[in-house]
Amino acid sequence: MSLLSIGTLAFDAIETPFGKTDKIVGGACTYIALAASYFVNESRVVSVVGGDFPKNRLSDLEKRGVNLEGLQIKENEKSFFWSGKYHTDMNTRDTLVTELNVLESFDPVIPESYKDDTTYLMLGNLAPVVQLQVLERLSNKPELVVLDTMNFWMDIAMADLKKVLKHVDVLTINDEEARQLSGEYSLVKAADVIREMGPTYLIIKKGEHGALLFHGTEVFCAPALPLAEVFDPTGAGDTFAGGFIGHIAKTKDHSFENMKRAIIFGSALASFTVEKFGTERLENLTIEEINSRVEKFVKLAHFNMDLAVI
């Protein structure tokens, strides 16, 4: 088993109704790798940072079993930077600043040792053309390819996105993105249209309303834990993706039933991420905390209709 993730290691500056941060470490792949590290002892990353990215944060990742051989460090350039402000509902946000920096010319280099030995591939949120390059530069097709993307790429690179989707097994997007990608308002119809594009599994993330998994004629509706406070939603989707692929990679089981469990683990980890700014909460979880959070999801969704018929 080997898990390869791509996505940004970057800086974020975040403002929420609860407060604001200076530049802090974020980026899709940071969250993915951290989340996955609770499931697998080793995973790999292909990404790029500038010389400004804190070396101690890289060695923290390495201590958690993240192999950074595929990380390009461009000492004379700056890391990707995003700044955003969340509205009161925490579901919508304004982007204040986007500085591509090292991403502008990112040409993903896959270490030789990764090329014929990538079983699970997590294509975190990046330009679809880069996601496709990574796929093309692997010698063997991975057993499972999961792709996360966002409305931004649908706005400016829909054709590229549709190209890479042909090679994807599992797509994770939110409900608005599912509508945009498919042109259908009903999520059931959207799921049909999107699965014609390539992915046989579609996960629709609905934030505080949980998630839906579509496959064949089956649907799974995952609950979301009602939270008294969502402090900072940044990285929740990436954490979800990392927990999802981490569980799949650990169990080597792509069945629908096991994907449900992977969704619950991803949701549980994401419910921690939103409790504090950035990666703070995700960095120091105990196994007991995670299992007890999973138990909350089980209780939350459980009902028994065995004896209840009309």
The pairing of beta strand 81-86 with beta strand 211-215? unpaired
Beta strand segments in the chain, E? 3-6, 10-16, 19-20, 24-26, 43-50, 66-74, 81-86, 93-99, 120-123, 144-148, 170-174, 201-205, 211-215, 218-222
Residue 193 binding a second copy, by CB under 8 A: no
Nearest to 223 by CA among 170, 149, 293: 293
Smallest gap, in angstroms, from Cβ of residue 231 to a second copy? Answer: 11
Residue 242 binding a second copy, by CB under 8 A: no
Residue 159 binding a second copy, by CB under 8 A: no
Q: Report residue 44: phi and psi, to 5°.
A: -125, 155
Residue 1 binding a second copy, by CB under 8 A: no
Amino acid at 224: A
Smallest gap, in angstroms, from Cβ of residue 28 to a second copy? Answer: 22
Distances from the Cα of 253 to the Cα of 15, 79, 250, 261, angstroms:
39, 36, 8, 11
What does the CA dihedral 194, 196, 202, 205 come to, rounded to 10 degrees?
Answer: 0
Q: Contact, 28 vs 148, CB < 8 A?
A: yes
What string of H, E and C letters represents the secondary structure of 71-103? EEEECCCCCCEEEEEECCCCCCEEEEEEECHHH
Among 135, 248, 264, 274, binds a second copy (CB under 8 A): 264
Q: What is the DSSP letter of 171?
A: E
The b/e string for 199-217 (b: 16+ C-beta within 10 A; e otherwise) is bebbbbbbbeebbbbbbee
Among 41, 56, 76, 88, binds a second copy (CB under 8 A): 88
Stretch that binds a second copy, among 45-53, 67-75, 160-168, 300-308 (CB under 8 A): 300-308
Among 157, 260, 276, 280, binds a second copy (CB under 8 A): 260
Smallest gap, in angstroms, from Cβ of residue 261 to a second copy? Answer: 5
Residue 89 binding a second copy, by CB under 8 A: yes
Smallest gap, in angstroms, from Cβ of residue 52 to a second copy? Answer: 34
Nearer to a second copy, 57 or 189 (CB): 189
Residue 309 binding a second copy, by CB under 8 A: yes
Smallest gap, in angstroms, from Cβ of residue 297 to a second copy? Answer: 8
What does the CA dihedral 271, 224, 15, 38 come to, rounded to 10 degrees?
Answer: 20
Among 111, 151, 219, 275, binds a second copy (CB under 8 A): 219
Smallest gap, in angstroms, from Cβ of residue 35 to a second copy? Answer: 11
Stretch that binds a second copy, among 19-27, 100-108, 115-123, 302-310 (CB under 8 A): 302-310
Tell me which residues in 9-48 interact with a second copy (CB under 8 A).
38-39
* Termini Cα distance of the chain: 48
Residue 73 binding a second copy, by CB under 8 A: no
Stretch that binds a second copy, among 1-9, 114-122, 146-154, 295-303 (CB under 8 A): 295-303
Strand-pairing partners, residue 95, are 84
Give, in degrees to the nearest 5, the angle at Cα 83 between 8 and 285. Answer: 60
Smallest gap, in angstroms, from Cβ of residue 214 to a second copy? Answer: 8
Residue 310 binding a second copy, by CB under 8 A: yes
- Which chain residues interact with a second copy by CB under 8 A? 38-39, 88-89, 185-189, 191, 206, 208-210, 212, 218-224, 226-230, 247, 251, 257, 260-261, 263-265, 287, 290-291, 294-295, 297-305, 308-310
